[in-house]
Structure 1
């Protein structure tokens, strides 16, 4: 009976799609402390290097007829600048460096995570939660600095009937503090789900009969993940712009 169970276990298809998200030390197999270099550390650093290569080195020799790298950098710059200006107005343009840095970091980390044998840092809530909390604290502090107590007008829906305003204020307050949770989970959840599905299809590619179907599914999912990598960076950034607008103009 034991040998039969072992044989059945050995012949079964076993794969672990969530193993790709395990944090591992770069050197050795010991315990991980806050100072231990890990695969997360490596790919976070590579994201920063990619941003520097694109925005600094790629535009160091600016020309009237731009190179491909310069064109990509200029498109990213114009895209985020226009988004911020459209949502927040001219007053929000002064916060462009922060918003641009946020977008470039997320989109770089997302695309690097699509490379074979890479690690997707934005699939971890620890990373996206820090980004979301930074946005939340920044816009909250900015709201009080710019508007003082008038910032609380964000929670008071003056256009609603007077009897409903206290109830709506509670709802608005709860939704405001839920922002960093939804902001971080949206990014990490979408990135993690797509990579896990690709891993599942890759596991089925070992079965000869359905290997062509599995490979076709992997190709389709990879194409979809390329779109998701950009769209999720865009969504995170545009929500940041909306929250920034609320801080600058809190009244309903």
Structure 2
């Protein structure tokens, strides 16, 4: 089968096969590649993933450190965005986790900013969406899971296990509910990570498929409209998924601080 590389968004390989159909490769955009050389990728290899993660960190520093260095009484646009993000996450932590959860605000703020910047940077043409990789989102989710679990045992000891014992249920049902609660607790990092990576991966893949069809003159106008609509939706998803990941972190933190049903 002969293959030709499509140019729309860099992206989709389209070729006429023996059956005359189009073959797309929308998942090629998620391939991890080394920045230097053609060797195998390992833990110490500098890749496109590490590059865009570093860019996300630099952007956060530019916004939160350089953007607020002036500390003007009348804030400029950059300082206003930084203050808005700070207030948004602070109120989320306070409302969901309570006053005693505010001491963990710096970590949650860092988590939110990293995810939201990674999501939005991934929308730049030819960029790499680091949060579309399970290797990234699983680490973030496990850090939250292990952190809140350790915090629960440190603060409450064995009483933290009361989180799984539903005292409001009839006594006969409590052991069954305890098993269900225990399973759902250990599923948290799985759903936490898959939700973020899956939504971003799916949206970017759909855009690349529409970009491939844009090469066909007959459907090109429809494809361009679809790409525009999907891109607008992905902008919304980029923020919503960062918000969902962060608010779930606050919920898990609340369970660690207040494990009673």
Q: What interval of TM-score do these two structures reach, taking the shorter chain for normalisation?
A: over 0.9
Could you tell me how far 1:89 is from its partner in structure 2? 1.2
CA–CA distance in structure 2, aligned partners of residues 128 and 8 of structure 1: 36
How far apart are residue 14 of structure 1 and its match?
A: 2.9
User: In structure 1, which of residues 45, 54, 59 is the aligned counterpart of residue 54 of structure 2?
Assistant: 45
> Which of residues 147, 154, 158 is equivalent to 1:149?
158
Are positions 1:24 and 2:33 aligned together?
A: yes
Say yes or no: does 1:165 pair with 2:177.
Answer: no
Q: Offset at 1:226?
A: 0.2
1:140 CA drift (Å): 0.2
3-state DSSP class of the match of 1:29? coil
Q: Among 50, 70, 74, which residue is 1:65 paired with?
A: 74
Aligned residues: 247
Q: Write the distance in 1 (CA, Å) between the matches of 2:175 and 2:212.
A: 54
- Alignment partner of 1:107 is 2:110: no
Structure 1 unaligned blocks of 5 or more: 1-5
Distance 1:7 1:120 in 2: 29
What runs of 5+ residues in structure 2 fail to find an aligned partner?
Answer: 1-14
Query: What TM-score do you get using the length of structure 2 for normalisation?
Result: 0.92
Once residues 63 and 11 of structure 1 are traced to their aligned partners in structure 2, the CA distance between those partners, rounded to angstroms, is 63
Map residues 73-88 of structure 1 onto 2, 5 A cutoff: 73-88=82-97
Residue in structure 2 matching 1:203, options 212, 226, 250: 212
Q: Shift of residue 13 of structure 1?
A: 2.7
- Residue aligned with 1:132, SS: helix
In the alignment, the residues of structure 1 paired with residue 24 and residue 211 of structure 2 have an alpha-carbon distance, to the nearest angstrom, of 9
Alignment correspondent of 1:3? none
Structure 1 residue 11 displacement after superposition:
6.2
Cα drift, residue 73 of structure 1:
0.4
* Stretches of 4+ aligned residues off by more than 3 angstroms: 6-12
Which of 188, 193, 197 in structure 2 is aligned with 1:179?
188
- Per the TM alignment, residue 9 of structure 1 is displaced from its structure 2 partner at its CA by 4.5
Q: Which structure dedicates a bigger proportion of its chain to helix?
A: 1
Q: Are residues 1:133 and 2:142 paired?
A: yes
Residue 12 of structure 2 aligns with which residue? none
Q: What secondary structure does 1:52 align onto?
A: helix
Question: In the alignment, is residue 217 of structure 1 matched against residue 202 of structure 2?
Answer: no
TM-score, structure 1 length as denominator? 0.96
Q: Residue 17 of structure 2 contacts residue 23 of structure 2 at CA under 8 Å; is this kept in 1?
A: no
Residue 48 of structure 2 is aligned to residue 35 of structure 1: no
Per the TM alignment, residue 30 of structure 1 is displaced from its structure 2 partner at its CA by 1.6
Residue 15 of structure 1: how far off its partner (Å):
2.4
Q: Is 22-31 or 105-114 further displaced after alignment?
A: 22-31
Residues 128-178 of structure 1: CA distance to partner in whole angstroms, max 9, x if unpaired? Answer: 000000000000000011111110000000000000000000000000000
Secondary structure in 2 matching 1:81: helix
